[in-house]
């Protein structure tokens, strides 16, 4: 049994939905398949704006966004299902009616709760469309509501999975379908569910954090002890650098779970960071493949670490702040001062991307945030002298021994640097 995850870009229009169907037909001959689908391209962003307008009471704006999202979905459906009598029209209409009735009532005061209730419409709609289209194309399938599969706490917008209950509910609901033996000539069982969405035991809809569909695929694979997960993307696989930043980026053919965890920890954005640990714990390989070039092998993440060191990887973070903190008395930087500094960072929810200390100062680099940065600096200044630089870059190089650093740093000034055996991290002032 395998789990396939398709992201929003793979179902951006009617032609791409057809492409997904083609991929499934071509790859669905070796056993049962579980499909996890995101919302159609940009829908989640649009629903976020809708939610904001709803909460602010900007009714005109809200309805304009609503119409736009709804129309985009119906245009795709019209292109896929020429017969207006097809039941998919009604089922999609129902998703949008539910949203409409919801947003024409007054909002409650829990933003995150309302967010999950509204934003989840994207995945509810996309899965209805894909399920109906596959059916139409001769690929019978069963659609399951993720709210009843992935059981979470009520931490809306960033819900935490109850692993024990979730594993049980996934197995109870999906196994009877996945075990069904197919008749001669018919394809193996196929089930579909929404990525990114979960539900509380009381039945409230939650979400797992932006880009959380990868994580959904991993949760399902973990519970079902899948033999493999495939994430289908609009890139050929995992690359050693963001191709928008480094034109000559190359494909990582095979890296270990540990390496992938490290890369995503340092800021590589290709797979959702929470995805890897559940897979690692059950030794389930993860493939990242291109939905535009499905015949290519893509990248493989598994237990094999023998290739990890072969290719250096580059991760760039922009809008970095580097702060240096000095005790105001004659004390050195030691545990008491550090405890205070860490408490300030923790209280403001600011994660240090890199830190270093000397006898008289402590320096840390973090992502700039309009709200958090000034609040943190204000608090630090209560106990310390504080200096800082903004608009810096942080460059992380894994396996830097093989890297060409001269090119990377051309015209840039290195303000802070740290090395381990495998990882080099630098905070730099970009070339002006």
Which residues here bind Mg ion, judged by CB under 5 A? 7-8, 38
| Residues 278-307, mask of contacts with ligand ASP (x by CB under 6 A) | ------------------------------
User: Binding ligand ASP by CB under 6 A: which of 8, 32, 189, 278?
Assistant: 8
Shorter beta-carbon distance to ligand ASP: residue 39 or 51: 39
CB of 196 to ligand ASP, least distance (A): 4
DSSP bridge partners of 387: 324
Which residue's Cβ has the minimum distance to ligand ASP? 213
Shorter beta-carbon distance to ligand ASP: residue 92 or 376: 92
DSSP bridge partners of 384: 327
Phi (first) and psi of residue 215, to 5 degrees = -65, -40
Stretch that binds ligand ASP, among 37-45, 166-174, 307-315, 392-400 (CB under 6 A): 37-45
**213 lines the binding site for ligand ASP (CB under 6 A):** yes
Quote the tokens at residue 43: 């829908």
**273 lines the binding site for ligand ASP (CB under 6 A):** no
Bridge pairing between strands 299-302 and 354-357: unpaired
Stretch that binds ligand ASP, among 166-174, 204-212, 227-235, 308-316 (CB under 6 A): 204-212
Shorter beta-carbon distance to Mg ion: residue 38 or 275: 38
* Ordered DSSP codes for 23-83: HHHHHTTSS-EEEEE--STTHHHHHHHHHHHHHHT-HHHHHHHHHHHHHHHHHHHHHH---
Quote the tokens at residue 275: 């995805």
**320 lines the binding site for ligand ASP (CB under 6 A):** no
Quote the tokens at residue 362: 């402590």
Phi (first) and psi of residue 103, to 5 degrees = -80, -10
Stretch that binds ligand ASP, among 56-64, 208-216, 225-233, 347-355 (CB under 6 A): 208-216
Query: With 0-12 CB in 10 A as exposed, 13-18 as middle and 19+ as buried, what is 293?
Result: exposed
Residues 179 to 198: which contact ligand ASP by CB under 6 A?
195-196
User: Binding ligand ASP by CB under 6 A: which of 27, 86, 148, 210?
Assistant: 210
Cα–Cα dist 410/141, whole Å:
54
**122 lines the binding site for ligand ASP (CB under 6 A):** yes
CB of 9 to Mg ion, least distance (A): 7
CB atoms within 10 A of CB 131: 24
Cα–Cα dist 379/344, whole Å:
7
What are the residues binding ligand ASP (CB under 6 A)?
Answer: 7-8, 38-39, 44, 122, 195-196, 210-213
């Amino acid at each position: 049994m395998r789990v396939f995850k398709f992201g929003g870009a793979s179902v951006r229009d009617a032609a791409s939905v057809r492409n997904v169907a083609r991929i499934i037909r071509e790859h669905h001959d070796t056993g049962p398949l579980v499909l996890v689908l995101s919302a159609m391209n940009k829908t989640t962003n649009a629903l976020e704006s809708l939610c904001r307008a709803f909460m602010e009471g900007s009714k005109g704006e809200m309805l304009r966004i609503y119409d736009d999202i709804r129309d985009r979905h119906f245009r795709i459906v019209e292109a896929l299902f020429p017969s207006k009598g097809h039941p998919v029209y009604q089922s999609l209409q129902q998703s949008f009616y539910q949203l409409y009735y919801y947003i024409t009532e007054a909002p409650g005061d829990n933003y995150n709760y309302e967010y999950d209730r509204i934003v989840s419409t994207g995945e509810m709609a996309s899965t209805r469309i894909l399920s109906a289209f596959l059916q139409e194309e001769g690929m019978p399938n069963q659609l399951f509501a993720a709210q009843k599969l992935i059981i979470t706490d009520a931490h809306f917008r960033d819900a935490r999975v109850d692993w024990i209950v979730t594993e049980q509910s996934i197995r109870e609901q999906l196994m009877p379908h996945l075990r069904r033996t197919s008749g001669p000539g018919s394809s193996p069982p196929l089930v579909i569910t929404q990525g990114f969405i979960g539900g509380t035991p009381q039945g409230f809809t939650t979400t797992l954090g932006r880009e959380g569909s990868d994580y959904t695929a991993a949760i399902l694979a973990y519970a079902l002890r899948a033999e493999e997960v495939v994430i289908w993307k609009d890139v050929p696989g995992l690359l050693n650098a963001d191709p928008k930043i480094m034109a000559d980026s190359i494909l990582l053919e095979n890296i270990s779970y540990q390496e992938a965890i490290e890369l995503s920890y340092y800021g590589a954005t290709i797979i959702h960071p929470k995805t890897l640990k559940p897979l690692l714990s059950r030794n389930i390989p993860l493939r990242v493949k291109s939905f535009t070039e499905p015949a290519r092998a893509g990248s493989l993440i598994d237990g094999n670490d023998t290739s990890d060191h072969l290719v250096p990887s580059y991760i760039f973070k922009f809008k970095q702040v580097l702060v240096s903190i000095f005790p105001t008395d004659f004390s050195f930087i030691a545990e008491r001062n550090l405890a205070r500094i860490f408490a300030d960072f923790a209280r403001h929810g600011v994660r240090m991307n890199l830190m270093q200390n000397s006898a008289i100062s402590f320096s840390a680099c973090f992502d700039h945030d309009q709200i958090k940065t000034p609040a943190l600096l204000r608090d630090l200044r209560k106990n310390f002298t504080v200096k800082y630089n903004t608009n810096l870059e942080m460059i992380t190089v894994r396996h830097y021994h093989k890297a060409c650093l001269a090119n990377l740093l051309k015209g840039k000034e290195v303000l802070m640097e740290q090395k381990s055996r495998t990882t080099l991290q630098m905070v730099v002032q970009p070339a002006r």
